[in-house]
Structure 1
Amino acid sequence: MRIARAVRERDGVERCELGMGTPANLEVLEDFGVSAPATPGDLVIAVEAPDDSAASALDYAEHEVGSLDGGAPGAPASRPRVRSLPAAARALEDPNVALISVPGEYATLEAHRALSAGLHVFLFSDHVPLEAEIELKQRGAALGLLVMGPECGTAMLGGIGLGFANVVRPGPVGIVAAAGTGAQESACLLDAAGAGVSHIIGVGGRDLRGELSGLMFAQAMRLLARDERTEKLLLVAKAPTAEGVQAIADHLPADLPVVAAFVGWDGANAPFEVHPTLEAGAAAAAGTAPPDTSPLEREVDARRSGASGRCLLGLYSGGSLAHEAITLLEPKLGPIAGNVGHGPEHADGMHALLDLGEAEYTQSRPHPMVDLETRTAMLEQAAEDERVGCVLLDVVLGFAGHPDPAAALAPAIERVTKRATVITHVCGTPDDPQDSKRQTRILAGAGALVAPSNAAAARLALRSLS
């Protein structure tokens, strides 16, 4: 994704696709006008550009891909080159985690190979059948190993981030999460409160549903209960079922305090302390109050008269953050259009909120936490739409994300603020590669109001439309 984005940013390049030769990717290439005799084991690079720009861009992409394998093409390898997971495990000194990101049809086999090698599994891959997930997690639990995923986007083990992860201070709170950006937001809020995090164990979004019944939640809690650095648990999920919550309750460790942030949960009859927002859950785990937003509220009030439109537009890159916003917005605004709320799929003069990380927006392009092109284009459209009175968006930082998202969004945000209020939240820390303080300054300089949490941003959006 990083290489494809870098190629797209080169002079003269109109489009670039870079991916394995899977049937889905080959279908995208056909829409591109390219027919490639590739197999799922082949890497395909396609560039559309005039004159010599295409050849130059291809050379650049090949060089960058080669550098991922220990150096530029033809350069001597700096480490052993291996072609299988067992060979990689043998080549390393005492590995204990395998990160797997391959097409779903191959992910199950590779995950089983990792378990056979005695490795915990971080399974980033999607399109893994539920039956395969159940089998993997049952086997992992029997072996005393973690199966984080499938579709696990975030974890942090002993301070080492996997996937999309932030740099947070070490501390006593262990996080178990079935929500990727939910885990990131929780960890960053704990960092801001001075609490810190011991580990983040992602379990995949389906772990609290159906036959899984919190299988990996239970395994993660067992392991964290034995970890001397972990003194408290924070459990994170999006609207789990009552059966899923009870499954967690059946496996709660006896000697660790437990707090949960179950987004959208009403808290009724929960057998342990449950909060309906990520903000409230993190505050409870840290033993602090949420940050004061009264200065921002006054600023929202001052700007309200300058916004002629009365519609909300939410443009989110984090699915958990989008879901949290919806649970706060819809009780006041009614059904909201888009792919998260309970309104129609498409908005026509009504409130709308979009999770741009869903498949309909990521087909043939990187995730919006990496590539901001889609969101920037939508902001440009909002700047010309007199019906839009408030724009709400997240800016997610950390490893694997865009290197400078605020700077990329700022020009479009500045244009939107001429007719609407823009409210943002930076999910990150000052120690992230992008530096949350710097990102906040850039966004504020473009005219956006920057809230201390995603939940606070949603409440400020409600205030701007009241």
Structure 2
Amino acid sequence: MALKVVIKQNTYFDSVSLMSLSTKANQIDGVEQAFVAMGTEMNKEVLRNVGLITPELEEAKTSDLMIVVKAETDEICEHGYLEIETLFTKKNSGTSKNEIKYSTISSAATSIPEANIALISVNGAYAAREAKKALDNDLHVMLFSDNVSIEDEVELKNYAHEKGLLMMGPDCGTAIINNVGLCFANAVRNGDIGIVGASGTGSQEMSVRIHDFGGGISQLIGTGGRDLSEEVGGTMMLDSMKALDEDEATKVIVLVSKPPAPSVEEKVLAQIKQCKKPVVVWFIGGDEEKITDAGGHFAKMSKEAALKAVLLAGADESKINKKALNIPLIQEVRAKLTPEQKYIRGLFCGGTLCDEAMYAALEKFDNVYSNIQKNLDYRLKDINVSQEHTFIDFGDDDFTNGKPHPMIDPSSRIERFLQEAKDPSVGVIVMDFVLGFGSHEDPVGVMLPAIIEAKQIAEEEGRHLEILGYVLGTNLDQQNFDDQVNKLLAAGVTHASSSQNAGLLAREFVVKGE
């Protein structure tokens, strides 16, 4: 086995670009493994774990670009490396000749006085410093970078609050500002419903459902996943709620998150009471009584929240297709499953989509396990081994450490999917396929060979395997929503019309004795 190692000193690329490029590099003919990443300690640890580390890679600095190619021969390694160089060239050639590059945030802010927001995606070690520079220049900030300390997050958000600026993130992956999608976002129509989300895919799902019901989005403001923690105190969500309450283009506000820390929840509820506009609240597993008492409109699940939002914005309910659960389909699938096939296996790219399906299962089953279960008694002891009903978030750090996020490279769950398909106790496997800016160009296509193989395995063993797929996207997304759905249907996959319906269908398919 041969190895090609190239280190390019002081050559920086953001993590999103490198993840996408690594995915393509691993598809090069003859390449057994390709690794393209910055020389951070975390990335070096990944190389150590897979046996690709070398002394020169150990010496790489965080500002250096590491390229590693493993193949059968030196010739194939060299070919693979040249192909990777071509990928970099193609990436750079997509840049407009008229595009101007600035070496610092300050120089860009000075040269473009009309600019009012900075999107930052740099190594976490430098992210807080760059975000502070942007705030110093009176720019709102969307901080995509992760690995930023919670102390830095608190300091940045307090500073932004004092200056009347938005500080979205760190680890903020989704936003739509003035009808422009940033990072991971779906193409949705402009409208009068504003979203504040501490969850990326949860916010995407909300925007897509609102679009599906005929509504539109005024702003989608991401806060970062830690904003509603005790330490951060909900600063960004509170400031965003106030901003949307004063925004003339926004009629209805929707809040998306897992339940906040108790002290933060009190602040959010107090802010809801002060809002002049209706506020719909989808906090997964949230307390209906508290939210209602504060004057909010409680929603148990995502589709319910979106429907309430569009109705509060003035939509005609009689003209909305609510896409209720297909009861005959549920009965049909139940009849196909044997008594032994009693478990759900959820394999998700989106953390909130995983959460919503899991909470649906928890309403009827106690034995629900996950790598993101809050109840530690039901947290998977080994994330690679499922137990009874299991829901996996492949976007969690345990799966993405040094690897592309599954929304960029959904192939990461193929091996696990086939593993679950061979388990005779599994009745249904439910998966999400996320479309939109930043996501894979054909997420369903990546899974199709495995889906066909799984169906054949089950058929040869004389059992039915129900595969349930949900495509998160709109008819405006570049991946072609209808094409993605049709590919699933052609492969014998049942299609769910929303994240909420995916969770409920998966649960109802395996309920016994009803």
**TM-score of the pair, normalised by structure 2:** 0.85
- Aligned-residue offset at 1:198: 0.9
Deviations 1:343-399 (CA, angstroms, capped at 9, x unpaired): 241455511111111111112210111112221111222232212111011111111
Q: 1:273 aligned to 284, 287, 297, which one? A: 297
Counterpart amino acid of 2:80? A
Q: In 2 relative to 1, CA 454–3 (structure 1 residues): closer, same or farther, beyond 3 Å? A: same
Counterpart of 1:358?
396
User: Equivalent of 2:475, from 421, 430, 449?
Assistant: 430
Task: Please give the alpha-carbon distance, in whole angstroms, between the structure 2 residues aligned to 1:387 and 1:250.
Answer: 47
Structure 1 residue 412, shift from structure 2 partner:
1.8
Deviation at 1:70, TM superposition (A): 5.8
Asked if structure 1 preserves the Cα contact closer than 8 Å seen for 2:242 and 2:275, the reply is no
Matched, 1:41 2:63: yes
Q: Deviations over 1:36-73 (max 9, x none)?
A: 1311111111111233332222223223334545669x
Say if 2:273 is the partner of 1:235: no
The aligned residue for residue 129 of structure 2 is 109
Structure-2 change in CA distance of 1:71 and 1:441 (3 Å): closer
Shift of 1:315: 0.3
User: 1:98 aligns to what SS in structure 2?
Assistant: strand
CA–CA distance in structure 2, aligned partners of residues 393 and 220 of structure 1? 32
> How far apart are residue 201 of structure 1 and its match?
0.2
Which of 401, 405, 415 is the aligned partner of 2:439?
Answer: 401
* 1:50 aligned onto 2:82: no
Return 423-432 or 348-357, whichever deviates more.
Answer: 348-357
**Hey, what's the Cα distance between the residues in 1 that align with 2:205 and 2:190?**
16
CA apart distance, 1:122: 0.6
The partner residue of 1:439 within 481, 484, 492 is: 484
Inter-partner Cα distance in structure 1 for 2:268 and 2:489: 41
- Aligned equivalents of 2:185 and 2:427: distance in 1? 33
**In the alignment, is the contact (CA less than 8 A) between 2:40 and 2:61 conserved in 1?**
yes
1:246 Cα deviation after fit: 2.1
Which of 74, 77, 87 pairs up with 1:64? 87
Matching residue within 288, 302, 305 for 2:332: 302
Amino acid at match of 1:443: L
Instruction: Give the superposition deviation at 1:220.
Output: 1.2
| 1:100–1:124 Cα contact (<8 Å) kept | yes
2:40 corresponding residue in structure 1: 22
Alpha carbons 2:280, 2:305 under 8 Å: kept: yes
| 1:169-226 superposed Cα distances (whole Å, 9 cap, x missing partner) | 1111010111110000000000000011111000011112214322111211222233
Match of 1:2? 20
Deviations 1:436-459 (A, max 9, x none): 222111111111111111111111
Q: Deviations over 1:394-431 (max 9, x none)?
A: 11111111101111112222333443111121111011
What CA distance in whole angstroms lies between the structure 2 residues aligned with 1:38 and 1:138? 35
Return the alpha-carbon distance in structure 2 between the equivalents of residues 213 and 338 of structure 1.
27
- Letter in structure 2 aligned against 1:3: L
Q: Which runs of 5+ in 1 are unaligned?
A: none
Q: Report if aligned partners of 1:297, 1:463 keep a CA contact under 8 Å in 2.
A: no
Change (3 A) 1:437 1:113: same
Q: Does 1:291 align with 2:310?
A: no
SS in 1 for 2:506: helix
Distance 1:85 1:67, change over 3 A: farther
Q: Give the TM-score normalised by structure 1.
A: 0.94
Deviations 1:71-90 (A, max 9, x none): 69xxx964333332223333
Match of 1:179 in 2: 199
| Structure 1 SS opposite 2:31 | coil
Q: What are the equivalent positions in structure 2 for 1:131-210 lying under 5 Å apart?
A: 131-210=151-230
Aligned residue identity for 1:15 = Q
Secondary structure of 1:206's aligned partner: coil
Q: C-alpha distance in 1, partners of 2:500/2:193?
A: 21
Identity among equivalent positions (%) equals: 34
CA contact (8 A) 1:293 1:451 kept: no
Q: Give, in whole Å, the separation in 1 of the partners of 2:372 and 2:386.
A: 16
Distance across 2 between alignment mates of 1:458 and 1:230: 30
Letter in 1 for 2:53: V
What is the distance in 2 between the residues matched to 1:176 and 1:225?
12
How far has the Cα of 1:244 moved from its partner? 2.3
Please say which of residues 224-233 and 50-59 is displaced more in the overlay. Answer: 50-59
SS at match of 1:393: strand
Describe the SS at the equivalent of 1:222: helix
User: How far apart, in 1, do the equivalents of 2:159 and 2:390 lie?
Assistant: 42
1:337 to 357, 369, 377: 369
Aligned counterparts of 2:86 and 2:94: Cα–Cα separation in 1: 9
- Indicate the SS of the match to 2:352: helix
Q: Give the count of matched residue pairs.
A: 462
Q: 2:348 aligns with which of 308, 316, 324?
A: 316
Equivalent residues of 2:28, 2:83 under 8 A apart: no
The structure-2 alpha-carbon separation of the partners of 1:290 and 1:242, relative to structure 1 and needing over 3 Å to count, comes to farther
**Deviates further, 221-230 or 117-126:** 221-230
Matches within 5 A, 1:58-137: 58-69=81-92, 78-92=98-112, 94-137=114-157
Against the structure 1 CA distance between its residues 181 and 349, is the aligned structure 2 distance closer, same or farther, given a 3 Å change threshold?
closer
Q: State the 1:12 CA deviation.
A: 0.9
- Cα deviation for residue 307 of structure 1 reads 2.9
Task: Say if 1:297 and 1:460, in contact at 8 Å, map to a contact too.
Answer: no
The residue aligned with 2:419 is 381
Q: Which amino acid aligns with 2:67?
A: I
State how far apart, in whole Å, the 1-side matches of 2:134 and 2:117 are.
Answer: 8
